[in-house]
């Protein structure tokens, strides 16, 4: 697989779909990666299996509230600094850059970082989607430490954190991010190649690209949402895809609070049936309920797309009256284990229900 200037739009659009409402505006993410590729060349994309077991793999991500990223993007030096400071702490240079999440801007930011630093980027991530909190990744589920980690801002202030749990690290990172303006760069979860092979969700850069291509080709064919769902059904993780709802936004509450974009969105069905769907989000969509009945719930993916163009809609672009189709899909199997649900199952987000796979709902 190659990420180039030519397929960046497809890739960023697919990643925005996997962002499940969070992860930031794909336009911003695309611009950041495109500029880096123009200046430094496209980074090599390697599979996890190509990593040496003792390779040093560092993640590169934006952390904060996606709506803030619209106003305060990254400058490049900040993400370089986060990685360099983490290398300095580890006493070893990075061999590759890994996306911590494939959803949204955090799919393109590692490409930007890898291009700037002349490193390969790994075709894998820590969730196969996006999640709002630092500890919500497979690596944490399976015992890899989130720290040491480094947070930086555009003034090149930096914070190096060493904590005894992913949850504690999240608390410290979030507090620093709020002080730094709620859109910061972070390099966390320093991993070795073996850990990436064992615990990453593999091939997700390729899948994001595939999703973006399916949407584009569907537009040409005049049925982008159907093409998208058909493509998802062919994938190893997202094969339980279905259209959950076809409606328009009738109520929207969205606050930037506690360091997140938190709220809910209500939709009325367009078929005149009177059915209603409610989506609750914390950066990402957490649960979709039709007339109070759960239709999909984390860690399965709940994605909003424009009903005509299948354009993924991040939470910050939701508007009253928008016409939207809701697509639900299964998450990767490694994301649905009992241990994984202890870290990012429904109850972790304060939802008073257990996870039920979308194929059973």
Could you list the residues that contact a copy of itself (CB under 8 A)?
A: 155-164, 168, 171-172, 175-176, 178-180
Q: For the CA atoms of 148, 208, 62, 67, what is the dihedral angle to 10 degrees?
A: -150
DSSP helix/strand/coil, 184:
strand
As measured in angstroms, the least distance from the Cβ of 58 to a copy of itself is 17
User: Which CB, 91 or 321, lies closer to a copy of itself?
Assistant: 91
Which tokens go with 238?
């997202």
As measured in angstroms, the least distance from the Cβ of 152 to a copy of itself is 9
User: Which CB, 20 or 152, lies closer to a copy of itself?
Assistant: 152
As measured in angstroms, the least distance from the Cβ of 184 to a copy of itself is 11
Number of other CB atoms surrounding residue 342 within 10 Å: 11
Which tokens go with 146?
């989130």
As measured in angstroms, the least distance from the Cβ of 351 to a copy of itself is 24
Q: CA torsion sign, 94 to 335 to 103 to 132?
A: negative
User: Which CB, 100 or 184, lies closer to a copy of itself?
Assistant: 184
User: Which CB, 181 or 263, lies closer to a copy of itself?
Assistant: 181
As measured in angstroms, the least distance from the Cβ of 177 to a copy of itself is 9
As measured in angstroms, the least distance from the Cβ of 71 to a copy of itself is 19
As measured in angstroms, the least distance from the Cβ of 257 to a copy of itself is 16
What are the distances in angstroms from CA 172 to CA 180, 265, 292?
12, 30, 36
User: Which CB, 18 or 176, lies closer to a copy of itself?
Assistant: 176
User: Which CB, 156 or 356, lies closer to a copy of itself?
Assistant: 156
Judged on CB neighbours under 10 Å (0-12, 13-18, 19+), 203 is buried
What are the distances in angstroms from CA 304 to CA 72, 75, 146, 344?
24, 29, 30, 20
User: Which CB, 157 or 223, lies closer to a copy of itself?
Assistant: 157
CA–CA separation, 117 vs 120, rounded Å?
Answer: 9
With a CB cutoff of 8 Å and minimum separation 6, the contacts of 297 are 286, 287, 288, 346, 351, 353, 355, 356, 361
In contact, 17 and 280? CB cutoff 8 Å: no
User: Which CB, 157 or 294, lies closer to a copy of itself?
Assistant: 157
At residue 318, what are phi and psi to the nearest 5 degrees?
A: -65, 140
As measured in angstroms, the least distance from the Cβ of 172 to a copy of itself is 5
User: Which CB, 176 or 209, lies closer to a copy of itself?
Assistant: 176
Report the 3 state secondary structure along 207-267: HHHHHHHHHHHHHHHCCHHHHHHHHHHCCCCCCCCEEEEEEEEEEEEEEEECCEEEEEEEE
As measured in angstroms, the least distance from the Cβ of 147 to a copy of itself is 9
Place of tokens 């508007």: 319
The helix or strand, by DSSP H or E, that contains position 152, with its residue range, turns out to be: strand 149-152
């Amino acid at each position: 697989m190659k990420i180039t200037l030519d397929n960046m739009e497809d890739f960023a659009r697919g990643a925005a779909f996997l962002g499940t409402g969070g992860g930031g505006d794909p336009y911003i993410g695309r611009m950041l990666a495109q500029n880096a590729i123009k200046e430094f060349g496209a980074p090599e994309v390697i599979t996890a299996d190509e990593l040496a077991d003792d390779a040093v793999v560092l993640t590169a991500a934006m952390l904060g509230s996606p709506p803030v990223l619209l106003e305060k993007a990254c400058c490049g030096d900040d993400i370089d600094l986060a990685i360099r400071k983490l290398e300095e702490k580890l006493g070893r240079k990075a061999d590759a850059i890994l996306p911590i999440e494939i959803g949204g801007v955090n799919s393109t930011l590692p490409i930007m970082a890898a291009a700037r630093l002349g490193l390969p980027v790994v075709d894998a991530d820590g969730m196969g989607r996006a999640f709002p909190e630092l500890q919500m990744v497979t690596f944490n589920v399976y015992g890899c430490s989130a720290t040491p980690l480094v947070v930086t801002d555009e003034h090149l202030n930096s914070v190096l954190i060493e904590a005894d749990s992913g949850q504690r690290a999240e608390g410290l990172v979030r507090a620093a991010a709020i002080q730094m303006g709620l859109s910061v760069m972070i390099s966390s979860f320093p991993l070795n190649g073996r850990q990436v092979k064992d615990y990453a969700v593999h091939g997700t850069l390729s899948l994001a690209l595939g999703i973006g291509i399916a949407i584009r080709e569907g537009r040409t064919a005049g049925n982008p949402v159907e093409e998208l769902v058909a493509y998802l059904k062919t994938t190893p993780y997202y094969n339980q895809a279905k259209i959950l709802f076809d409606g328009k936004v009738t109520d929207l509450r969205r606050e930037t609070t506690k360091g997140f974009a938190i709220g809910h969105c209500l939709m009325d069905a367009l078929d005149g049936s009177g059915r209603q769907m409610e989506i609750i989000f914390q950066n990402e969509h957490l649960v979709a309920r039709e007339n109070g009945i759960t239709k999909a719930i984390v860690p399965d993916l709940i994605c909003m797309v424009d009903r005509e163009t299948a354009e993924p809609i991040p939470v910050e672009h939701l508007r009253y009256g928008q016409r939207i189709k809701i697509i639900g899909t299964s998450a990767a199997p490694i994301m649905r284990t009992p241990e994984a649900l202890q870290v990012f199952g429904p109850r972790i987000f304060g939802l008073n229900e257990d996870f039920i796979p979308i194929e059973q709902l």
